[in-house]
Chains A and B, each alone.
Chain A
Amino acid sequence: MSKRTFRIWRGDAEGGEFEEYTVEVGPGMVVLDAIHRVQAEHASDLAVRWNCKAGKCGSCSMEIDGMPKLGCMTRLGDYPESHTITIQPLKTFPLIKDLVTDVSWNFAQNKRIKPLQPKPRDADGEHRMQQEDVDRIQEFRKCIECYLCQDTCHVLRDHDRKDAFVGPRFMIRVGQLAMHPLDTEDRIPAIKEELGSGYCNITRCCTEVCPEHINITDNGIIPLKERVVDRYYDPIKMLLRKVRGA
């Protein structure tokens, strides 16, 4: 056991400040453990979200030394012992209190995405899909909705274009539907217009912070952008469609 100091943001939408807390830390401890110790010993009203403590629910999203991370998956041992770790709430969403932010905007985005429109079942009542056809979308379905990608996406974080761009999490949400072997819905117009695929400039920070290691940019957003190109920007493809359609 040794002592360690943490610099934690305390405050709400009105304002606040960093406060330092020193607690005992042990082997294998993660940042969330330290926050719980602070709660139990120094500040029982310190607000933090958490649930599973195993990187599976995506509740304890926060910024640790400036990087969007899960508190439960960030080991104290990864930081030099004498270093004071700074812990902040997510920047991109309105602050409620301390480390808790109002992420309801994300839930509203999910609602804008039309659910799966499956084709009819086979005669024997089954849906058939091959594993190689679902591998791609299963990667996106690993998403735990921690919204770290949303937090780090500069379109939302710095430029505050929440009006125009749905964010990386929901690009892969619509991506898994667009690439779904059973889906019958044409999602390309929505991807371009309402969801704003063109606002992503593929700077890949979403992929860098994803705790599930989902390749959001290369496997999700870029393939969608290419599908949008097929429909709206590729003159030859557009011409061919006209000729075939005529």
Chain B
Amino acid sequence: MVDLNELQTFEHDVLVIGAGGAGLRAAIQCAALGLDTGIVSKSLLGKAHTVMAEGGMAAALRNVDKRDNWKIHFRDTMRGGKFLNNWRMAQLHAQQAPDRVRELEDWGAVFDRTQDGLINQRNFGGHRYPRLAHVGDRTGLELIRTLQDHGVHQGFATHMECKIIGLVKDGDRIAGAVGLWREHGRFVLFKAKAVIMATGGGGRCWRVTSNSWEYSGDGAALAYDAGAELMDMEFTQFHPTGMVWPPSVSGVLVTEGVRGEGGILLNNKGERFMFNYIPERFAPETADTKEEAARWLSGDKNARRPPELLTRDVVARAIRSEVQAGRGSPHGGAFLDIANQRPADYIKRKLPSMYHQFKELAEVDITKDPMEVGPTLHYFMGGIKVEADSQMSKVPGLFACGEASAGMHGANRLGGNSLSDLIVFGKLSGDGADAYIKALPADPKVDGSQVSAIIKHATDILNREDGPNPFVVHEEIQEIMGEGAGIVRQGDELQTAVTKLGEIKPRIESVKAHAAPQFNAGWHEALDLQSLVTVGEAVARAALMREESRGGHTRLDFEGEREEWQKYNIVVSKQPDGGMLAQKVERPDPPEELSKIAYAKIEDLEAGNV
């Protein structure tokens, strides 16, 4: 039994877990509302995976094309999400994104400018108009640095290099969290009236991923263990363009901005194959000849968009099909060519970090030669199920925002909607936490036995005589997920994955790490395994249940979208016996007003007739 008096303890009104874009924005909002706020991050401040976002943040600012408005952004989001999005979240996002983006300018963000001196916007897959506020191809870095530099003056406490290993509850309510300092391996208790999960997704369940080590699904797993529900876990976005060579960087992201700026996809026969993969629903809005695509690129507003800018799920599957048909590039991808589409100095100016990334990591000069790209696990549409306006989960006092939460993106996320998601729902979760705390009848109490149990579970890993190597077990999970729950899935393979993940759990409970508590990579890896296996199982179970192909979920044994499945989300929750339950949950009917917008003709929306 741990003596709570001897345990280092911080008391906050709100504890934000995760210091990427969503977490920082949430913390800024909490502090602005006068809440005593702490933010915890596994890494140093400003290193979160938000820095990897390249293309931009989507908001209908109307700086480049006046025809745009929130309704069209909303419609694009719903169509991109295959109508499985939470309607209200998609609405809030489209309506509030412009103000959230503008506010960043007051905090120091310096976006690329239009001729008129306004925030410039670029084209992106699935967005009808140029909509992405951007800074070259490093928009995520701009976002996180802006929030960081603004945030450090807002008076919230920053707890860096601390991994949260368990949530503490008082009855049903959240009461705090237990953390582990990565630096010296000591434990810390955060007492908090509300906790906001902003931990991102769980991409490290797969080997080829654009995600960093931090993406072990901690938020989803902790919330699940605390009684929250996970939703839409089957929808995992494979970004169509990750690096495929050299092996050590396979999976590292190649921004969609390359295609937004005119890059085209070719197979090893030099064919521009995307013209062969245009889905029916997008056919009226997609160019069907090279000439029309070229006209669109040169700014012809009457031309339709090139097929390379179709939604990510479509492009990712197309590349996979080409590779399987033997038309792939030498290292098993497709060629992405911008060298022959744009002059060298333009490429260097618009895509500077891509230029350096390929030059330095792959020795490819993208102004002269094509890149080799292939799908890479990029994003979780699913996550913690939350209420749209407050962002609160089923557990009172437990909130989630950003990639860690579910609903906003439905079955597939549009590029550029993630960064705007972070700032819109980061803020809303802060508002939600504030409202919750104000209505709280009494401060929650921390139960020492819960804290002790969490700490013992973590220290057991160090105290064992022997056990499996956590790095090896991680690779095993990645193998299971890669084989059973990859970019395309089948019932029997998913069933195998579920079974194998069940078998690996006892091994995870017996892993052993070397005794040194300071900055012990093996120990941290061992603790991450708990999250990885929970998230992996949730993905596999949900994917097994959804018998159709939609967005980021493709079933070879159930091809195409099935109308009846549009009525359901799959929700995963923890059973009293510790087992995982996946359920079909019927979606409420959409508000009529939103339904009208989502299914409206584009011309009517442009004309303001809806």
Tell me whether A and B are bound partners: yes
- Residues of chain A at the chain B interface (Cβ within 8 Å): 12, 26-30, 33, 39-40, 44-59, 73, 75, 96-98, 100, 102-104, 107, 110-111, 115-116, 118, 125-131, 134, 137-138, 141-145, 173, 176-177, 180, 182, 213
Judging by beta carbons under 8 Å apart, are B106 and A116 in contact? Answer: yes
Q: List 5 A-B contacts (CB under 8 A).
A: A26-B247, A51-B214, A52-B49, A126-B118, A141-B142
For the complex formed, measure the closest distance between the CB of A37 and the CB atoms of chain B, giving whole angstroms. Answer: 10
Name B356's closest neighbour in chain A (CB-CB).
Answer: A55
Q: How far in angstroms is the closest Cβ of chain B from A156?
A: 18
Given contacts A116-B108, A141-B142, A143-B145, 18 further A-B contacts (CB under 8 A): A26-B248, A27-B246, A44-B514, A44-B525, A45-B514, A45-B520, A51-B213, A52-B49, A52-B51, A55-B357, A58-B47, A96-B518, A116-B107, A118-B105, A129-B117, A142-B141, A180-B110, A213-B356
Does B516 lie at the interface of the complex (its beta carbon under 8 Å from any beta carbon of A)? yes
Closest chain-A Cβ to B418's Cβ sits at a distance in Å of 16
Given A48-B521, A130-B113, the answer on whether A54 and B253 have CB atoms closer than 8 Å is yes
Check B47 against A96 for contact (C-beta < 8 Å): no
Our pick among A58, A97, A111, A127 for the contact of B518 (Cβ within 8 Å) is A97
Q: Which residues of B contact A56 (CB under 8 A)?
A: 51-52, 138, 141, 353
Is the beta-carbon distance between A73 and B110 smaller than 8 angstroms?
no
How would residues 83 to 121 of chain B score, 1 for a CB under 8 Å from any chain A CB and 0 otherwise?
Answer: 000000000000000000010011110101100111000
**Does B233 sit at the interface, judged by CB under 8 A?**
no
Known: A26-B248, A45-B514, A45-B516. A128 touches B116 (CB 8 A): yes
B520 engages A28 (CB within 8 Å): no
Q: Report A61 CB to chain B, min CB distance, Å.
A: 11
Q: How far is the CB of B352 from chain A (nearest CB, A)?
A: 8
Does residue B281 face the partner (Cβ distance < 8 Å to A)? no
CB within 8 Å for A28 and B117 given contacts A45-B521, A59-B47, A141-B135? no
User: Size range of the interface on B?
Assistant: 35 or more
- A98–B519 CB distance below 8 A: yes
Q: Chain A residues with Cβ under 8 A from B149's Cβ? A: 110, 115, 173
B157 located at the interface, meaning its Cβ lies under 8 Å from any Cβ of chain A in the complex:
no
Question: A146 CA to B360 CA in the complex, in Å?
Answer: 17
Q: Are B247 and A28 in contact, with the CB atoms below 8 A?
A: yes
Asked, given contacts A30-B248, A52-B212, whether A47 binds B49 with beta carbons under 8 Å apart, the answer is no
CB distance from A100 to the nearest CB of B (A): 5
The answer for the CA separation of A44 and B212 in the assembled complex, in Å, is: 18
Is the contact region of chain A dominated by helix, strand, or loop, or is it mixed?
loop
B459 within 8 A of A: no
Taking CB atoms, residues of chain B closer than 8 Å to A137 are: 110
* Interfacial residues of chain B within 213-228, with CB under 8 A of chain A in the complex: 213-214
CA distance A28 to B522 in the complex (A): 25
Q: Chain B, 508-532, contact with A by CB distance < 8 Å: what is the 0/1 string?
A: 0000011010111111010000000
Q: Contact check: which of A45, A49, A100, A145 meets B46 at CB < 8 Å?
A: A145
Decide: B47 and A127 in contact? CB cutoff 8 A.
no
Do B213 and A33 touch (CB < 8 A)? no
Does B423 make an interface contact (CB < 8 A)? no
The reply to whether A111 and B248 form a contact with Cβ atoms under 8 Å apart is no
User: When the two chains form their complex, are residues A96 and B519 in contact, meaning their CB atoms are under 8 A apart?
Assistant: yes
Closest B residue to A147 by beta carbon equals: B44
* Distance A61 CA – B516 CA, assembled complex (angstroms): 23
Q: Which residue of A lies closest to B519 (CB)?
A: A47
Determine the chain A residues whose CB is within 8 A of the CB of B212 once the complex forms: 50-53, 57
Residues of A within 8 A of B51 (CB): 52, 56-57, 144
> Which of A107, A134, A173 sits near B45, CB closer than 8 Å?
A107
Residues of B close to A103: CB separation below 8 A = 44
- Closest chain B CB from A172 CB (angstroms): 12
Question: From A114, which residue of chain B is reached at the shortest CB distance?
Answer: B153
Q: Sort A-B residue pairs by CB-CB distance and give the 9 closest, nearest first.
A: A28-B246, A44-B522, A47-B519, A128-B117, A116-B108, A51-B212, A131-B113, A40-B471, A33-B248
Q: Which residues of A contact B470 (CB under 8 A)?
A: 44
Contact call B521/A46, Cβ cutoff below 8 A: yes
Give min CB distance, B100 to chain A, whole Å.
14
Interchain nearest-CB distance for A236 vs B (Å): 33
Contacts of B248 in A (CB 8 A): 26, 28-30, 33
| Contact A96 to B105, CB < 8 A, known contacts A28-B249, A30-B248, A53-B252 | no
A50 to B118: give the CA distance in the assembly, Å: 36
Tell me whether A54 and B152 are in contact in the complex, defined as CB-CB below 8 angstroms, given that A45-B516, A73-B360 are known contacts.
no
Q: How far is the CA of A129 from the CA of B109 in the complex (A)?
A: 12
Tell me the bound Cα distance from A127 to B116 in angstroms: 10
- Which residues 446-492 of B have a CB within 8 angstroms of A? 469-472
For A47, the chain B residues whose CB sits under 8 A away are 518-521
B583 interface contact, C-beta 8 A? no
> Which listed residue, A12, A59, A176, touches B43 by the CB 8 Å rule?
A59
* B245 interface residue per 8 A CB criterion: yes
B559 to chain A, nearest CB (A): 35
B49 A59 Cβ-Cβ under 8 A: no
Contacts of B106 in A (CB 8 A): 116, 118, 127
- Once the chains bind, are A27 and B521 in contact (CB under 8 Å)? no
| Contact for B522 among A39, A75, A115, A144, CB less than 8 A | A39
Residues from chain B with a CB closer than 8 A to the CB of A73 are 360-361
Alpha-carbon distance A134/B135, docked complex (angstroms): 11
Q: How far, in whole Å, are A223 and B149 apart by their CA atoms in the complex? A: 22
B509 to chain A, nearest CB (A): 18
Given contacts A44-B471, A45-B522, A47-B520, contact A96 B247 (CB under 8 A): no
